[in-house]
């Protein structure tokens, strides 16, 4: 059949013949707007941060002791600590034989002056916090950032106990986070007197010397219950760095630190009534040994 206009077959659909000045463009040629691109970039960054945070948290948790190990400390005295194992390893690597001197002393047999000295010097807020002194943490972070290295510790007695029991003295952010977590556990499971008793019996007081009982014998030749104020301050002065602030290593430096602790004790008025009821009053010895070069003891300066 022939159409009247002379075109054979059915007419097709009408065709668009007009285009813009640039001609037709494919649908995927237009770039995404800037806003969706930025949103997608921030989404990737957020997901990456979450993944890193989760991995970091997992790494911190993996290195923690069990809660059962912490709860066991309510009655059981630890046979060894993380710092003891660290020192043994260091001695072996240096070709020396590891040594440990320790004599466990109940808190009721510790000189009250030593309790006062340690709390005044290391953690004046010990009986008020729950394991972490957040003001000290803030000051520590500010100091470390300013100096661009680990300078100020800011650790409470409970944090120091956690470090000594389960970790090492090597400084790192991960260790500090683990230490803080365990400190909270210790405060939840143990009483303040028990925490103090553990602390005084496990911390390092010189090469191979652990606990106040061994330290009192080593440096003053007497039981820890017989320490007077100056001797207690002498032991407390060593705690921040027992291998350097040591009467046998550097008597002059140790004496300066000892005088500082005595000033802190006087300023604190023995800290609080709670501390005043702990420990025992020093019992006089029949004969006090004279300070010798071997004992490392030095007479207190006259006031």
Report helix, strand or coil for 101. Answer: strand
DSSP sequence for 72-100: GGGTPPPS--HHHHHHHHHHHHTT-----
Residue that the structure tokens 């945070």 belong to: 53
Q: What are the start-end ranges of the E strands in 45-179?
A: 101-102
Token duo for residue 69: 């190990």
- Global pTM reads 0.73
**Distance between CA 131 and CA 17 in Å, rounded?**
81
Q: Across residues 245-255, what is the average pLDDT?
A: 95
204 backbone dihedrals φ, ψ, rounded to 5°: -80, 135
141, 231, 280, 286, 290 from 174: Cα distances, Å: 14, 36, 38, 50, 46
102 backbone dihedrals φ, ψ, rounded to 5°: -150, 140
Query: Does the pLDDT at position 49 exceed 90?
Result: no
Query: Does the pLDDT at position 171 exceed 80?
Result: yes
Query: Does the pLDDT at position 197 exceed 90?
Result: yes
Predicted confidence band of residue 78 (pLDDT cuts 50, 70, 90): very high
Cα angle 169, 174, 176; round to 5: 55
The tens digit of pLDDT for each residue in 256-300 reads 999 999 999 988 886 455 565 666 666 554 443 333 333 333 333
List Cβ<8 Å contacts ≥24 apart for 272-275.
272/127, 274/127, 274/192, 275/115, 275/116, 275/119, 275/127
Which of 53 and 185 is assigned the larger pLDDT?
185
Give the distance, in angstroms, between the CA of residue 67 and the centroid of all CA atoms in the same chain. Answer: 18
Query: Does the pLDDT at position 188 exceed 90?
Result: yes
Query: Does the pLDDT at position 30 exceed 80?
Result: no
* CATH number, domain 100-276: 1.10.3810.10
Token duo for residue 83: 């710092």
Q: What residues contact residue 182 under an 8 Å CB cut-off, 6+ apart?
A: 64, 65, 70, 162, 165, 166
pLDDT value for 290: 36
DSSP 27: G
Domain ranges of the chain: 100-276
Residue that the structure tokens 């680990």 belong to: 150
pLDDT value for 92: 96
pLDDT value for 288: 38
Token duo for residue 301: 């300066």
Cα angle 238, 241, 244; round to 5: 90
């Amino acid at each position: 059949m022939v159409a009247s206009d002379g075109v054979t077959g059915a007419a097709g659909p009408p065709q668009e013949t007009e285009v813009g000045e640039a001609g037709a463009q494919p649908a995927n040629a237009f770039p995404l707007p800037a806003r969706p691109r930025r949103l997608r970039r921030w989404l990737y960054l957020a997901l990456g941060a979450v993944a890193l945070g989760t991995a970091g948290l997992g790494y911190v948790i993996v290195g923690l002791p069990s809660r059962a190990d912490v709860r066991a400390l309510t009655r059981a005295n630890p046979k060894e600590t993380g710092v003891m194992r660290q020192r043994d390893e260091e001695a072996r690597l240096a070709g020396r034989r590891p040594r440990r001197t320790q004599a466990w002393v109940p808190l009721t047999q510790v000189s009250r002056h030593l309790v006062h000295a340690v709390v005044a010097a290391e953690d004046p807020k010990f009986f008020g916090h729950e394991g972490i002194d957040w003001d000290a943490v803030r000051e520590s972070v500010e100091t470390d950032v300013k100096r661009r290295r680990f300078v100020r510790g800011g650790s409470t007695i409970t944090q120091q106990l956690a470090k000594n029991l389960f970790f090492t003295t090597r400084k790192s952010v991960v260790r500090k986070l683990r230490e803080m977590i365990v400190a909270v556990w210790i405060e939840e499971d143990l009483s303040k007197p028990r925490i103090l008793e553990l602390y005084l019996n496990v911390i390092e007081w010189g090469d191979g010397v652990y606990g106040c009982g061994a330290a009192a014998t080593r440096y003053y030749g007497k039981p820890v219950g017989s320490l007077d104020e100056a001797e207690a301050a002498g032991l407390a002065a060593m705690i921040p760095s027992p291998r350097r602030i040591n009467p046998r290593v550097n008597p002059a430096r140790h004496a300066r630190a000892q005088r500082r602790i005595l000033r802190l004790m006087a300023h604190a008025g023995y800290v609080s009534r709670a501390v005043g009821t702990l420990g025992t009053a020093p019992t006089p010895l029949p004969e006090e040994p004279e300070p010798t070069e071997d004992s490392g003891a030095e007479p207190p300066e006259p006031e």
